[in-house]
Structures are given as structure tokens and as C-alpha cells.
């Protein structure tokens, strides 16, 4: 697991910048779950990362701004305990870290350009409303015997 975490073609997080913690998992497993440290915590500090410093200033600011709410004492913490095997949880945590950073670096979506409904759609909507209203009006005109 000494390979870097590949986020994008331009960004890979070196394995030396990752810190791992292991603890007992409350996840799936039988008797072995009581003795195996299968819960994985992956910690990465983006502020001190050489990989982030290699990015353009705009992307650095976007990354730090979007991750601000997820940082705990300056570190991004990814927890994985879905699998019984620690190695699988480690792989899941690495994938989740890459996905989180990829989403934080993604360009913001284009703003919506306001448009007006077409004349045909307005007419269809009004026709449907009148039709529905006449259906409901027809219900009350039938008298009910109580």
C-alpha cells in the first residue's frame, strides 16, 4: 500500500503523506470481529501536502474552501469499516479519499440561464387545468342520495 493515491492525471497524493489508524470494527463479521482491527481511518493534511502545492493557486483555494467543513484539526479523515478484511477497508478508504478530493477540485457547475416557457407549453398547461376543473365540477353536479 505504498503506492500514491491517484486523484486525477495531474494530482497524486504520495503514500508518505497518508496516516493510518486501525481500531476494532463494529461492522460485519462473526467472532473474528472482536479481535481483528478491521476499522480503518485514513488521515491526510491538504494544507501541508506537496501534491496540493503543485496545483495552480486557483485549484488550491477551491480545494481548501470545499474541504473546510470536513477537516478535523487540519486533516481530512476518511473512515472505512464496511469489510471484514483490513486490506479491503484500506483500499476503500483510499478510493474514498480520491473521490472526495476529485469532487472538491471539480469546476463549479455553470449557472442556470433563465428561460421562459414556450407558448405551447403554457397553452397545454392551461388546457389541462380547465379539463381537470371541468371533471371536478361534473362530480358535484350529480346529486348524492344520503
Name the burial class of residue 103, with classes exposed (0-12), middle (13-18) and buried (19+) by CB atoms within 10 angstroms of its CB. Answer: exposed
Phi/psi for 29 (5° steps) reads 135, 160
Name the burial class of residue 45, with classes exposed (0-12), middle (13-18) and buried (19+) by CB atoms within 10 angstroms of its CB. Answer: middle
> What is the structure's pLDDT at 132?
95
Total H helices, total E strands in the chain: 4, 6
Q: Are 38 and 84 in contact (CB under 8 A)?
A: yes
pLDDT at 124 over 90: yes
Q: C-alpha grid cell for residue 84?
A: 471484514
pLDDT at 146 over 60: no
Most confident of the following: 5-14, 21-30, 48-57, 88-97: 88-97
> What is the structure's pLDDT at 11?
83
Q: Residue 138's pLDDT band (boundaries 50, 70, 90)?
A: confident
Name the burial class of residue 107, with classes exposed (0-12), middle (13-18) and buried (19+) by CB atoms within 10 angstroms of its CB. Answer: exposed
Q: Between these two residues, 53 and 116, which has the higher pLDDT value?
A: 116
Q: Between these two residues, 134 and 36, which has the higher pLDDT value?
A: 134
Per-residue pLDDT tens digits for 76-105: 899 998 888 888 999 999 999 999 998 988
R_g over Cα of the chain: 27
Amino acid at each position: 500500500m505504498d503506492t500514491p493515491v491517484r486523484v486525477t492525471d495531474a494530482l497524486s497524493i504520495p503514500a508518505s503523506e497518508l496516516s493510518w489508524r486501525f481500531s476494532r470494527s463494529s461492522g460485519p463479521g462473526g467472532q473474528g470481529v472482536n479481535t481483528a482491527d478491521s476499522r480503518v481511518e485514513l488521515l491526510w493534511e491538504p494544507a501541508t501536502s506537496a501534491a496540493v502545492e503543485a496545483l495552480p493557486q486557483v485549484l488550491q483555494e477551491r480545494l481548501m474552501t470545499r474541504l473546510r467543513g470536513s477537516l478535523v484539526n487540519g486533516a481530512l479523515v476518511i473512515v472505512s469499516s464496511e469489510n471484514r478484511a483490513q486490506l479491503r477497508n484500506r483500499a476503500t478508504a483510499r478510493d474514498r479519499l480520491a473521490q472526495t478530493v476529485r469532487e472538491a477540485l471539480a469546476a463549479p457547475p455553470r449557472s442556470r440561464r433563465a428561460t421562459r416557457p414556450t407558448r405551447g407549453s403554457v397553452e397545454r398547461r392551461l388546457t389541462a387545468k380547465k379539463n381537470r376543473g371541468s371533471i371536478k365540477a361534473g362530480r358535484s353536479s350529480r346529486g348524492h342520495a344520503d
